[in-house]
Copies of this chain bind each other. A is one copy, B any other.
């Protein structure tokens, strides 16, 4: 646990994690959990990587729309496409979840799953975060990566349970977080099996939502994809509330954690008023439930991997 030990400051959060891991891994102890049941789940946006000034997948969507615009002259007169092309983010935001889902569908369908994987990989190779000026896959939280490594070394199986698109995450999370594609639970669109004119079968991405893995959808996704209740869960927003409640409601020892974005200098500081990653109700209920709230500014010696270089 040397890396976990060095990226987390001594304090209540680090102590709670170490205590929990010791309890569930001590053979013969009353809180012992067999390795097969050591399921740990992590939200992604705001928990494993940053989510400001906007969700990174939304930045992908906006970039894709601009790339695809020449093939879609009709977007010039159609909201919220028009607003995206004009850089009018207020109108985009005002279009609400329905508007943004429409943008997502327009950019996440009409190709095979293999083609989409390549589009994501190509974008990640060239796109840069507007403030850190680095690839998005570098704007990840080193202490959380070290925590996941520490858990895996103690027999845990780590999963991502994110509102983000599952096919947007799978191309890179193994390399960046050490989490294989089959341990990623996320939102998804409908895919359709087709045999092409060359006799080769493909999965076509259709412009329809299959599943939204957010809020009350997270326990549903955990049950559907993992089929076992986690004993350890980490989130950072109200969209993670039900995942934490579901984890907490199982028998035996449990750990529930929230990342609180408090470091305006090294990252961002936001919670109850934020458009992305709003943390309000979950922050209120955390103390009474003895959930661990991580204060990024105080608890983490380092935020991003590039700080260590």
Taking A157-B182, A193-B219 as given, write out 14 further A-B residue pairs in contact, using a Cβ cutoff of 8 Å, ordered by the A residue number. Answer: A36-B174, A180-B228, A181-B226, A182-B227, A191-B220, A192-B220, A201-B245, A201-B246, A201-B249, A203-B219, A203-B223, A203-B246, A210-B224, A225-B225
When the two chains form their complex, are residues A182 and B228 in contact, meaning their CB atoms are under 8 A apart? yes
Cβ < 8 Å to B, chain A residues 154-171: 157, 159, 166-167, 170
Q: Interface size class for chain A?
A: 35 or more
Give every chain B residue within 8 A of A219 (Cβ-Cβ): 193, 201, 203
- Residue numbers of A with Cβ under 8 A of B are 36, 39, 113, 157, 159, 166-167, 170, 174, 180-184, 188, 191-193, 195, 200-201, 203, 210, 216-217, 219-220, 223-228, 242, 245-246, 249
- Given A166-B224, A193-B246, A245-B195, A36 and B201 contact (CB-CB distance below 8 Å): no
- Given A181-B228, A246-B193, A113 and B188 contact (CB-CB distance below 8 Å): no
Select A184's contact among B183, B227, B245, beta carbons within 8 Å: B227
Closest to A193 in B: B216
CA distance A226 to B113 in the complex (A): 13
